[in-house]
Amino acid sequence: MPVKTASDISLRFYPLHFGKGDFLLKEGSVSNEYVFLTEGYMRSFATDPDGNDITTSFHGPHQVVFEIASFFQRIPSRENIQALTPCAGVAITYATLNELFHALPEFREFGRSILVNGFSNLKSRMLSTITETAESRYLQLLQSSPDIFQHAPLRTIASYLGITDTSLSRIRKEISGK
Amino acid sequence: MPVKTASDISLRFYPLHFGKGDFLLKEGSVSNEYVFLTEGYMRSFATDPDGNDITTSFHGPHQVVFEIASFFQRIPSRENIQALTPCAGVAITYATLNELFHALPEFREFGRSILVNGFSNLKSRMLSTITETAESRYLQLLQSSPDIFQHAPLRTIASYLGITDTSLSRIRKEISGK
DNA sequence: GAATAATCTTGCCAAATGGCAACTAATGAT
DNA sequence: ATCATTAGTTGCCATTTGGCAAGATTATTC
């Protein structure tokens, strides 16, 4: 059936549910679902050469979750995506999304904006990682995404900030004494 | 005139030249030219809160130079792009590129791949910044882009690596003694 | 080619972060 | 409720990196 309207689009989305700890994507496979989270929290993480988890991003309600490079380039992902809490969302496959891109030109602009925003956010994070201290990055995260702290363990947050859990613990102690 | 073929595309590119130190883009203005460098080296850099330059990327011959977020979102750039050496290239404006996107659908895929590749590279760099030591990042840059070292001063390279020129100097000394 | 400026190196010490291990606290499973 | 597991904190010390200032080196300009 041809796709022409916004309601045709919403029909193509199907519901998804995850238990805590479930994987939406495992390193080595191709990201094939573009997911919009309606409830719950997830994290993306890579495994470094020493076998440690490095959290690359957090995803919360009303946010999009997928692995851009793998999804668009159709190559194996170097990252995992895992539920931090029970989650609910709606998903659309790569193939279907492509159909929509062809059928509805406005949709392309939407696709581009996802890429551009993601790129832009990552760049800001890169800059702050280079120029700011871990304490300052911690405080910023606390302010911009306080909800993460309710749902992710500190060691996960530490790896996102680029420090060890030990250091994060000390930073928190230091701050609490102010 | 309508655009239909590859040679129509090449007609839309115009030549550009830069002297050493010239700016292709200044922070605060909108990136409006998509430039393909044929000769020479450039750098992109941001200014941190303390007024220091932070080099975010290097660009060499046969590489594309523009500021993705500013170019596609039509917003003021937070970065500068400056010639490290005399440069030559060809450019196309945002408006013309958009015409091409409409006229030649294959071109869209090309646009997307630029975004996706840029994103993917930035993510790798982010990971290596978090998980690896400055020395290791230095050695990798030396291996992957030895030509940069002929054209950019060490202090610029240091800021790209996320360290001070003093530290880079010490790292180099350390390595030379091996 | 002398003067000037920019770049790079080095010494000294301080600050930030990591590694490991012990200990405590919280969580989850049966 | 108990036991086992995971998460978080802390002490001790090592390593990495930064800050500053003085020299040394190299490049630029007139």
ipTM of model:
0.89
- Which nucleotides of chain C have an atom under 7 angstroms from any protein CB? 6-11, 16-21
Q: What is the pLDDT along chain B (178 residues), one digit of tens a residue?
A: 565 666 666 778 999 999 999 999 999 999 999 999 999 999 999 998 788 899 999 999 999 999 999 999 999 999 999 999 999 999 999 999 988 888 888 888 888 888 999 999 999 999 999 999 999 999 999 999 999 999 999 999 999 999 999 999 999 999 987 6
Task: Select the CATH number that applies to the domain covering B7-121 from these four: 3.90.76.10, 3.40.50.150, 2.40.128.120, 2.60.120.10.
Answer: 2.60.120.10
CA separation (Å) from A166 to A12, A154, B132?
Answer: 46, 10, 18
Q: Quick check: A120 and B52 CB within 8 A?
A: no
Angstroms from A34 CA to nearest CA on chain B:
15
- Are B134 and B163 a contacting pair, CB within 8 Å? yes
CATH architecture of A7-107: Sandwich (2.60)
Q: What is the mean pLDDT of residues A89-118?
A: 89
Q: A105 pLDDT band (50/70/90 cuts)?
A: confident
Q: A135 pLDDT band (50/70/90 cuts)?
A: very high
Integer distance in angstroms from CA B119 to C1' D1? 52
Domain residue extents for chain B: 7-121, 132-178
- Are A16 and A90 a contacting pair, CB within 8 Å? yes
B103 touching A, CB under 8 A? no
B170's tokens: 């010490």
B133 touching A, CB under 8 A? no
Residues by CB within 7 Å of nucleic chain D, which ones? A 153-155, 165-166, 168-170, 172-173; B 133-135, 162-164, 166-167, 170-171
List, as ranges, residues 35-74 from B with C-beta within 8 Å of A: 46, 48-50, 52, 54, 56, 68-69, 72-73
Integer distance in angstroms from CA B150 to C1' C3? 27
Distance CA B115, CA A134 (A): 29
Cβ-proximal residues to B172 (8 Å cutoff; 6+ apart), any chain: B138, B154
